[in-house]
Structure 1
Amino acid sequence: MIECKVTEVGEDLIRYTVEEINYSVDKNKVEKIEFKNGKILVFQHSMFGEENYQGQRKNALKLGFLSPLGGVTTIFYERSLKPGASLEFGLGIIGMGVQVMKGVSGVGFKAGYKFIKSPAYYQRGQRYTHILRGSYIKPELSIASYGYDNYYYFIDGREKHRVNYTSVAALVTFGNQWVFNNSFLVDVFVGVGYGYSTGGGGGYNFMHSLAPSSFPVAGTAGIKIGLLFGN
């Protein structure tokens, strides 16, 4: 606490004097001012004040841009909770895309909480960047449940067996999201964590990939594109 005489509370700075020496401090570094008359002035950090993001769309619907090439179509929904935090949920329709396995079908889910780096601003006191824009860390859970046809061949023909797998991974995903004109976004990400599959082996599991069971490391990476809507 600093005992002083406050001479000015500006848009960005607070000016004060101590023993007739003038000082100034960034307003973001001040929690509150307590005046002698008992009045208390409380400040909110400009990077996290809701008023800086009024009019911005806080919901996004995204598509995994390259996921159909891997045999799954992924759709994601993201909702901003507050500046610096959002929730994201994903649905994967396994088998909707390039057929990487015979007769493959199934479903996948992802859910994560984004910790977004403090939003930046273009110029102090002017326009702030979008509430969903920036680099982030996202702990997330990824689940894939699917089956495909496996054929055993014999001299007199072949026999079809349905093989089913369920794979689960706990990931920490790092990414960066760009927002354009409060309407369109691009999200690039990569993640790593631990995973398990009922099949016991590693490889591509549509929503994530697994190393062999003796080394149960999981990974994910991709690009999402999407549209923003709602406030």
Structure 2
Amino acid sequence: MKKSLLFSLVGMLFLSISSYAQDVLHMRNGDVLDVYITEIGVEEISYKETETSRVQISVAKSEVAMIIMENGRRYEFELDQRIVSAPDYNLQRHRALKVGFFTPLYGSFRVEYEHNLKPGQSLLASTNIIGLGKDLYEENPGGIGFSVGYKFMTSPEYYLERQKRSHRMMGSYFMIEGAFSAYGHDVEYYNNNTYAYESGRGSSVGAALILSYGKQYVMGNSFVLDYSFGMGYGSTSTTLPSAAKGNIDYYEVMPSSYNFIGGFEEFPLVFKTRLSIGLLL
């Protein structure tokens, strides 16, 4: 009888000890949880509140400071410095002054100003000085172009834990842009009365609505590199010099308005490419 009672007491004591022999989660917010760890993964730790529970709970590994296993083994986790040093957008520069890197080779000089309204959205305005560059078509152009665009930064297909942009003005984007240009240029025509080639001063006006896709890089919170390619609808009209009206057999319309390419009456599709470099302000 005494022996049976002794075995019963020992069994009850063993069960009592086993019921408290749990794993312990020490959270970074100070909470201490008695649980049953089921898995320690790369990004998450899974556990059950009771050994027989069918419900499994997962927490981010970055939220756990330490685990003490049932057998006394300890696992300590260091906080990822990329999370500790997540960028503060309010401390980052949010304006940029840029220039078109290749525009002087095509007869103009473009200056851009970008203002980041909030992370992921920016307003871009540019001025194109036509004639300040190489005269590719030998037409002595002179005029100005304007464009205004609104950038929407694209989001990744999925986010990793606490993932943020490294800079508020950096990333891939879509931009809807309105462009306008007006400039004067030389026109060479054949005079049917004098039977000779003559030249006069004409003018061209172009306007377009363009949808572009691009990407912007920010280096050291100081320098910016921006490139894009766009397509849209537009129109370009040319006014000939008065001396040439009714007295012209042939005149070749140049394919560029110095703010975009295309926009002819028979085919109103336009194209625009950009490569700009500049400084953050």
- TM class, shorter-chain normalised? 0.7 to 0.9
1:191 matches 2:243? no
CA contact (8 A) 1:88 1:114 kept: yes
TM-score (norm 2): 0.60
Partner amino acid, structure 2, of 1:63: V
Please list, as runs of the form range in 1=range in 2, the aligned pairs for 1:169-188 lying within 5 A after superposition.
169-188=208-227
Quick one: which of 81, 101, 120 aligns to 1:65? 101
Distance 1:17 1:164, change over 3 A: farther
Quick one: which of 97, 113, 118 aligns to 2:133? 97
Distance in 2 of aligned mates of 1:226 and 1:93:
17
Higher fraction of helix: 2
1:213 matches 2:265? yes
Shift of 1:205: 1.0
CA contact (8 A) 2:188 2:200 kept: yes
Quick one: which of 256, 263, 269 aligns to 1:204? 256
Deviations 1:52-101 (A, max 9, x none): 31321100000000001110100000010111101000000000011233
1:222 matches 2:274? yes
Q: Which runs of 5 or more structure 2 residues have no equivalent in the other structure?
A: 1-26, 30-42, 61-85, 240-252
Q: Which runs of 4+ in 1 moved over 6 A?
A: 15-20
CA contact (8 A) 2:212 2:228 kept: yes
Partner of 2:91: 55
Aligned positions, number: 196
The structure whose Rg is larger is: 2
Aligned-residue Cα RMSD (Å) equals 3.4
Structure having greater relative contact order (Cα 8 Å, sep ≥ 6): 1
Partner of 1:161: 200
Quick one: which of 57, 69, 73 aligns to 1:23? 57
CA contact (8 A) 2:236 2:264 kept: no
Kindly, what percent of the aligned residue pairs are identical?
A: 34
TM-score (norm 1): 0.73
Distance in 2 of aligned mates of 1:114 and 1:9:
39
Distance 1:202 1:17, change over 3 A: farther
Higher fraction of strand: 1
Deviations 1:155-189 (A, max 9, x none): 68764321111100100011001110000011111
Q: Which runs of 5 or more structure 1 residues have no equivalent in the other structure?
A: 1-7, 27-49
Distance 1:146 1:51, change over 3 A: same
Partner of 1:145: 182
Distance 1:18 1:130, change over 3 A: same
